[in-house]
Amino acid sequence: MRTPRMLTSFAYGALAVLALAGTVAVADEAATIRASLAKVLPEYTPTSVQPTQIDGLYQVEIGPQVMFVTEDGRYLIDGAIVDLESRENITETARGKARLRAIDGIGQENMVVFKAPDERHSITVFTDIDCGYCRKLHEQMAGYEEAGISVRYLFYPRSGVGSPSYDKAVAVWCADDRQAAMTRAKSGAEVNSKACRNPVQQHMELGELMGIRGTPAIVLDNGEMVPGYVEPKRLAALLEQGVN
C-alpha cells in the first residue's frame, strides 16, 4: 500500500520525467527547424529557436530578424501575428526585443554616445554623416538632452564601404574626441583622416539585417523602430508612450 509520502515521491518523479520529455521534444523540434532553414537559408544561422505560446509554432531569431516556423519545419510565417484578446502584435513585440538584443551585442563602448545629463531614455540612431536629415537631427542634440534623451550613434553610410561617407565615419571613430569629431563632420567640416580598428562595418551589417533603407533610423528603448528625423518633443512623447 502506498503512503502519502510514497505518492508524493512518485508524483515528483513522474513530473520530472514529463519535464525531461518536454525538454527533449523541444530540442528535437528546434533541431528539425534549424535543419529545414539551413536548406533554404544556408547563409544564415539562427541565434535562437524557442517555442511560442501558440502550440506547434516556434519563434526563430536571426540576429534582429524574427520569423515563426511550425514545429515540423515545413511552414514559415513572416508577418504579423496578433493576439485578438490582448490586441498585442506578438510579431512586433518579438522583433523589438530581438533588435535590442542585437544592439546590446554591439555594446555601447562601440558607439558614439551623446549622454543626456538627466537621462530618462536612450535611443540608438543609425546615421550617415552626409545625410541631410541626420544632420538636422544632430543639430537638435541640445533639445534631446534637455528632454532626457541620450543618443547612441551607429554608423550606416548608405553609399557603402570605401565611399567618402564611409571614410568620414571611420575618421570620426578614430578621432581623439569622437563626439566633437561627429559634430564637426555633421556640420560639413573636414575631420582629419586616421586609420584604426573600427566597428563601422559591423554597424552596417546590423543595419542590413534590420532592413534599414534610409537614415536616420531610430530604435527606441522598447525596440520599436522609427524611420526618419523626429524632433525632440515629439520623440520624447513617443518614448513616454512606450513606457506606459
Q: Which of 95, 130, 134, 184 is catalytic?
A: 134
- Catalytic residue check, 131: yes
Which triple of cell numbers denotes residue 174? 578614430
Paired sense of beta strands 65-70 and 76-77, if any? antiparallel
Q: Which residues pair with 123 in a beta bridge?
A: 151
Exposed e or buried b for every residue in 141-176, given b needs 16+ CB within 10 A? Answer: beebbebbbbbbbbbbbbeeeeeebbbbbbbbbbbe
158 as an active site residue: the answer is yes
Task: Assess whether 174 carries a catalytic annotation.
Answer: no
Catalytic residue among 95, 99, 152, 158: 158
Instruction: Indicate which residue of 95, 99, 128, 135 is catalytic.
Output: 128
Catalytic residue among 131, 135, 152, 174: 131
Dihedral sign for Cα atoms in the order 17, 22, 23, 27: positive
Q: Catalytic: 152? A: no
Cα radius of gyration (the chain):
23
Residue whose C-alpha cell is 549622454: 115
Active site residues: 128, 131, 134, 158
